[in-house]
Structure 1
Amino acid sequence: MRHLGTLDTEAKARRFHDYLLSQKIASRVDPADGVWDLWVIEEDDVPRARAALEEFRNDPSSPELEKQVAQGQALRVARQKQALEAVRRRLEVRRRPAILGAGHLPITFFLITISVVVTLMITLDNNDYGLITDFTIASFEPAGNDRIRFYTDLREIRGGEIWRLVTPIFVHYDAFHLLFNMYWTYIFGAMLEPRLRSWRFLVMVLFLAVFSNLAEFYVKIPPLVFDKDPTFGGMSGVDFGLFGFIWIKGRLEPRLGIGLPDLTVYLMLGFLFLCLTGIFGPIANTAHFAGFLLGCGLAAMRPLTRRRPAR
């Protein structure tokens, strides 16, 4: 930091500070024995700042200078608002409980509890063609040679068993599958449910569940095959939808305080595409991509509607 000079009044010093700000020169103003000291933060800016000070002293009320001062004032006010907003967000995060419990996240904990209970019930049933078929999108039974038999027209749902559009998200086939999905359900639920309110969060989860389940039933990737199969299950389609919503919403509306660390984004996107290789075995890739794309779309809808010109 280099001392630039002095001005005799605070008003002049503040105006010159704003003038330097409009020239992208960082400076500081301090009172000192009846005058105001001017400091330049960056050494490389000193020559330009000296020339600006000479110009300011020669004609402090020129129209062009007044224009630059006004621009600097506007920039300073905008930066102050941004700084205050950043402080407000940090305080809000600090006031929020570090680990939110069921009282703060009723829907999130409901999803986790039902998933654990259903998975335990299916495990105790030895994963036979019994209890599990009450939760899949279509009931199925063995047909010999590792084949299954089921109604491809979703007859059970058409007959009134509407819950089958959602309940596959509660079916998990092993402990790792369950723990992995429940971890992300809690992480993303803790970010979204308090902000959206529980009923909006529930509506989003239902949309993601129905869309990803239907997509997985009708389409398989990779490769792109239209082959109906009701044996899938898991919360990952919903989790990827919540991830997509948080990621895009954080990009489009950062003032909401919703966002993810870059490492989490890379991890989720990497896992999304790594599953396509088959390294993890049979994976509901279509549900992943369907939920992810729907979540991104839901996040983009509100900002897009805001940009429409008013009639």
Structure 2
Amino acid sequence: MNLVGRLNDPRIAQSFVDYMALKNVQCHIATQDQYFVIGVENNSDLDAARAEFEMFAENPSHARYRSASWERTDSSRVQFNYGSSGTPLLHQLWVQAGPVTLVILAVTLIIGLLSQIGLAQDLFSMLHFPAPFDQQVSQIWRLFTPAIMHFALAHLLFNLVWWWYLGGRIEREVGAGKLITLFLAGALLSNGLQGVVVGPNFLGLSGVVYALLGYVAVAHRRYPALALPPAYIGFMLVWLGLGFAGLLGSHIANFAHLGGLLVGAVQGFIDTRQKQS
């Protein structure tokens, strides 16, 4: 099989395969390590398939790709088996992430669990955003550590799932260094914006999660394997809008979400421009 490209999401890969089938180019999906690789059997189709994949990578959520699967009615339709029966859960967690993703996940989980057994106030006193800043300016870690604190289990689990899903993608495709950069910049700028605009009493990984979302939404043009189903991005943006509309309560760190989204999108834009230049 001649390699056309690779993606992290089998459903996005399937939409490309379906689209190419409408152009009478038969593609196949196979697994390779943690990726879903797309290939063609005929050498004569390779150049055309790669050219189409480059355009697909620019905007995999375009309507022409989403509708392709619905338009296919032939009985020979290529479909990939998404099932993972027989694969242990811990193995799936490992192969879909990386060391940095898992270390941050573990540290955040431990702090979250400690908060559930009576240590919440002690942890908050040690790790919260500087307040007042001029009295704690030497404790530089406080600019970052609100990101790893969660007092509510639902909040903790929601953020960790998104961190694992998005952070794992970025670490596997772009590298651990990029994920560390996004974590630090996302935590610093989201915490800073929330702290300056609203005040210091906030916590959670959500700002960093939005930084990862912003990066993936923009940088998939350079790294097609980062592409997400558009519904995922839409859900997170709607969630952001509901927060600013006040429909999620007053405890939501809306400016941390916004700051994280902006810093991730800017980093994604910079990386994409570097490829083009």
The answer to whether TM tops 0.5 is yes
Which of residues 212, 224, 234 in structure 1 aligns to 2:190? Answer: 212
Tell me what 2:128 maps to. 136
Q: Secondary structure at the match of 1:99?
A: helix
* Structure 1 residues 27 and 174: CA distance shift in structure 2, 3 A: closer
Q: Secondary structure at the match of 1:278?
A: coil
Cα deviations by residue, 1:176-219 (Å, 9 ceiling, x for unpaired): 11011011001101211112222331122111111111111001
Q: What 5-or-longer segments of structure 1 have no aligned partner?
A: 1-25, 29-75, 87-93, 139-149, 221-228
Q: What 5-or-longer segments of structure 2 have no aligned partner?
A: 1-22, 26-44, 56-81
- Give the Cα–Cα distance (whole angstroms) in 1 for the partners of residues 110 and 156 of structure 2: 11
Cα deviations by residue, 1:128-169 (Å, 9 ceiling, x for unpaired): 4x331101012xxxxxxxxxxx42x3431x22x211111100
TM-score, normalized by length of structure 2?
A: 0.65
Which of residues 264, 267, 273 in structure 2 aligns to 1:298? Answer: 267
Q: Which has the higher contact order (CA 8 A, sep 6+)?
A: 2
Q: Secondary structure at the match of 1:279?
A: coil
- Give the Cα–Cα distance (whole angstroms) in 1 for the partners of residues 54 and 159 of structure 2: 34
Which of residues 107, 116, 120 in structure 1 aligns to 2:109? Answer: 116
* Structure 1 residues 165 and 174: CA distance shift in structure 2, 3 A: same
- Give the Cα–Cα distance (whole angstroms) in 1 for the partners of residues 53 and 216 of structure 2: 23
Amino acid at match of 2:181: V
Asked if the contact 2:97–2:165 (Cα under 8 Å) also holds between the matched residues in 1, the reply is: no
- Give the Cα–Cα distance (whole angstroms) in 2 for the partners of residues 77 and 103 of structure 1: 29
Cα deviations by residue, 1:37-69 (Å, 9 ceiling, x for unpaired): xxxxxxxxxxxxxxxxxxxxxxxxxxxxxxxxx
Which of residues 181, 201, 204 in structure 1 aligns to 2:179? Answer: 201
Asked if the contact 2:219–2:268 (Cα under 8 Å) also holds between the matched residues in 1, the reply is: yes
Q: Number of aligned pairs?
A: 206
Asked if the contact 1:125–1:131 (Cα under 8 Å) also holds between the matched residues in 2, the reply is: no
The Cα of 1:104 is off from its aligned counterpart by 5.0
Which of residues 214, 230, 255 in structure 2 aligns to 1:286? Answer: 255
The Cα of 1:77 is off from its aligned counterpart by 7.0
- Give the Cα–Cα distance (whole angstroms) in 2 for the partners of residues 262 and 104 of structure 1: 21
Which of residues 249, 252, 263 in structure 1 aligns to 2:231? Answer: 263
Amino acid at match of 1:272: L
Tell me what 1:234 maps to. 204
Amino acid at match of 2:203: G
Asked if the contact 1:168–1:234 (Cα under 8 Å) also holds between the matched residues in 2, the reply is: yes
Asked if the contact 1:246–1:259 (Cα under 8 Å) also holds between the matched residues in 2, the reply is: yes
The Cα of 1:242 is off from its aligned counterpart by 0.2
Amino acid at match of 1:172: H
* Structure 1 residues 77 and 103: CA distance shift in structure 2, 3 A: closer
* Structure 1 residues 173 and 104: CA distance shift in structure 2, 3 A: closer
Amino acid at match of 2:140: I
* Structure 1 residues 80 and 110: CA distance shift in structure 2, 3 A: closer
- Give the Cα–Cα distance (whole angstroms) in 2 for the partners of residues 173 and 116 of structure 1: 11
Amino acid at match of 1:155: Q
* Structure 1 residues 291 and 104: CA distance shift in structure 2, 3 A: closer
Tell me what 2:218 maps to. 248
* Structure 1 residues 200 and 27: CA distance shift in structure 2, 3 A: closer
Aligned-residue identity in percent: 25
* Structure 1 residues 77 and 238: CA distance shift in structure 2, 3 A: same
* Structure 1 residues 108 and 154: CA distance shift in structure 2, 3 A: farther
TM-score, normalized by length of structure 1?
A: 0.59
Asked if the contact 1:276–1:285 (Cα under 8 Å) also holds between the matched residues in 2, the reply is: yes
> RMSD across aligned C-alpha pairs, in angstroms?
3.2
Larger radius of gyration: 1
The Cα of 1:81 is off from its aligned counterpart by 2.9
